């Protein structure tokens, strides 16, 4: 009986040992299952990206526009003959200083003088005809209609004489004011068409100097008369001149598609000349609201489009924002659109983030 009792005790102990092992195994499975769920619910703190944040600054901004052009005088003129003809004499050359009223060039007056004489004779004939009809009308031989027609013919002849004498006067070119002959476009013996430029003339009566240039439509929309400008001339290295917008074209040039802008430049005691090359920096008065952020906050950029990150309310996850970049200045990026409700952006660590990143904020 004793050996049987010993075997029963051994069997009972083995059963208890097996049951205990099963319980331990189940406990281990449950523990590891819970740990796995916790690991899925919250990534390990070692996987979080350390970041720093900076505030978004609200301000206003006006674009600085840069263009180039050539200096000109407001008294510039293209002098020409009123009528066509052969140029008989040119009295000046390029670079000559001239005074107001000085004779610069004249046409061959043979044809013009003949036209004046013809007009004079037409007037004399019309006067004789009108006088004869008047006498016949007084004798009741001519009718009132004949008398009126004769008087009309006399008036027509007198107006023809005025036209011929006017053309005779403008068969020559005289200086409109004191100035300089910049270019001589024709020579003696050439056939000048009516209104064709013969001289390019710059007057000096006024001291107004301007630079004219074409601007794009988006810049035309923000410019106004009176906007300030600064001008740099190659003739005066290192010197900056003050300017102001005086004229803005209301229609685009059909060839270039740009809008001409005129900027008046103040000489400030310096000597200017037509043709000086200058660079114009325009500062429009109209301003727009923008947001300034550190340039390192821009994680990606393509032309004017960029991406920045902000921290969500849980302070552990992030949101990616597409923004429109207006310009870059030193260590700042100006954002025109895309950060309406954002007060802080991520700077340090922004380049390592994705929309699914978990972060930890460091000081």
> pLDDT 10s digit of each residue in the chain, 363 long?
444 444 444 444 555 445 555 544 445 444 545 544 544 444 444 578 999 999 999 988 777 889 999 888 877 788 999 999 999 999 999 888 899 889 999 999 998 999 999 999 999 999 999 999 999 999 888 999 999 999 999 999 999 999 999 999 889 999 988 888 888 999 999 999 998 999 988 876 556 889 999 998 888 988 999 999 999 999 999 999 999 999 999 999 888 899 999 999 988 888 888 788 999 999 888 777 889 999 999 988 887 899 999 999 999 999 999 999 888 878 889 898 899 889 999 999 998 998 889 999 887
Pairing of strands 277-283, 259-265: unpaired
- Report the helix count and the strand count for the chain, using DSSP H and E: 4, 24
Query: Hey, what are 324's tokens?
Result: 């429109």
Cβ-contact 322, 307 below 8 angstroms: yes
Distance (Å, whole) CA 294 – CA 344: 11
Give residue 16's pLDDT.
46
Length of the chain: 363
Considering the segment(s) 67-74+207-283 as one domain, its CATH architecture is: Beta Barrel (2.40)
> What are the distances in angstroms from CA 270 to CA 173, 267, 281?
31, 5, 19
Give residue 20's pLDDT.
52
Query: Hey, what are 104's tokens?
Result: 């610069």
Give residue 64's pLDDT.
83
Q: Three-class SS of residue 166?
A: helix
Q: Three-class SS of residue 232?
A: strand
- Tell the burial category of 220 from Cβ atoms under 10 Å away from its Cβ (0-12, 13-18, 19+): middle
- Count of alpha carbons within 13 angstroms of residue 169, beta-carbon side: 7
The region, left, alpha or beta by phi > 0 then psi within -120 to 50, assigned to residue 172 is: beta
Cβ-contact 339, 308 below 8 angstroms: yes
Cβ-contact 311, 362 below 8 angstroms: no
Q: Three-class SS of residue 91?
A: coil
So where are the chain's domains? 49-61+287-361, 67-74+207-283, 115-163
Give residue 207's pLDDT.
61
With CA atoms as reference, report the closest residue to 283 among 60, 64, 68.
Answer: 64
Pairing of strands 240-248, 259-265: antiparallel
Give residue 21's pLDDT.
56
Distance (Å, whole) CA 236 – CA 70: 14
CB proximity list for 265: less than 8 A, separation 6 or greater? 71, 209, 210, 211, 231, 241, 242, 243, 272, 278
Give residue 14's pLDDT.
53
Query: Hey, what are 319's tokens?
Result: 């949101």
Distance (Å, whole) CA 211 – CA 58: 35
The yes-or-no answer to whether 49-61+287-361 and 67-74+207-283 have a common fold is: no
CATH dotted code for 49-61+287-361? 2.40.420.20
- Count of alpha carbons within 13 angstroms of residue 220, beta-carbon side: 18
The region, left, alpha or beta by phi > 0 then psi within -120 to 50, assigned to residue 6 is: alpha
Distance (Å, whole) CA 53 – CA 328: 19
Distance (Å, whole) CA 359 – CA 355: 11
- CA angle (33 as vertex; 32, 36 as ends), nearest 5: 85
């Amino acid at each position: 009986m004793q050996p049987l009792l010993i075997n029963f005790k051994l069997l009972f102990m083995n059963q208890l040992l097996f049951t205990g092992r099963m319980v331990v195994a189940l406990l281990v499975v449950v523990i590891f299952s819970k740990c796995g769920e916790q690991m899925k619910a919250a990534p390990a703190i070692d996987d979080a990206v350390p970041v720093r944040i900076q505030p978004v600054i609200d301000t206003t901004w006006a674009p600085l526009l840069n263009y180039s052009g050539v200096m000109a005088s407001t008294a510039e003129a293209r002098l020409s003959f009123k009528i066509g003809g052969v140029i008989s004499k040119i009295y000046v050359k390029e670079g000559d200083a001239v005074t107001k009223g000085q004779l610069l060039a004249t046409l061959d007056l043979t044809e013009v003088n003949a036209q004046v004489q013809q007009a004079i004779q037409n007037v004399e004939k019309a006067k004789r005809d009108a006088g004869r009809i008047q006498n016949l009308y007084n004798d009741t031989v001519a009718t009132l209609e004949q008398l009126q027609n004769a008087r009309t013919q006399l008036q027509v002849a007198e107006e023809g004489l005025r036209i011929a004498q006017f053309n005779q006067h403008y068969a020559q070119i005289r200086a409109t004011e004191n100035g300089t002959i910049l270019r001589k476009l024709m020579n003696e013996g050439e056939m000048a068409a009516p209104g064709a430029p013969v001289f390019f003339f710059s007057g000096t009566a006024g001291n107004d100097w301007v630079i004219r240039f074409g601007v794009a439509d988006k810049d035309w929309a923000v410019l106004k008369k009176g906007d300030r400008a600064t001008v740099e001339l190659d003739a005066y290295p290192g010197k900056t001149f003050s300017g102001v917008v005086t004229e803005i074209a209301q229609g685009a040039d059909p060839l270039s598609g740009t809008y001409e802008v005129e900027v008046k430049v103040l000489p400030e005691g310096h000597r200017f000349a037509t043709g000086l090359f200058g660079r114009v920096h325009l500062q429009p008065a109209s301003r727009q609201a923008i947001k300034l952020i550190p340039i390192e906050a821009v994680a990606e950029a393509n032309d004017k489009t960029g991406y920045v990150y902000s921290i969500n309310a849980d302070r552990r996850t992030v949101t990616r924002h597409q923004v429109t970049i207006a310009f870059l200045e030193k260590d700042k990026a100006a954002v025109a659109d895309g950060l309406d409700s954002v007060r802080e952006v991520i700077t340090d660590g922004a380049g390592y983030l994705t929309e699914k990143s978990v972060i930890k904020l460091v000081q």
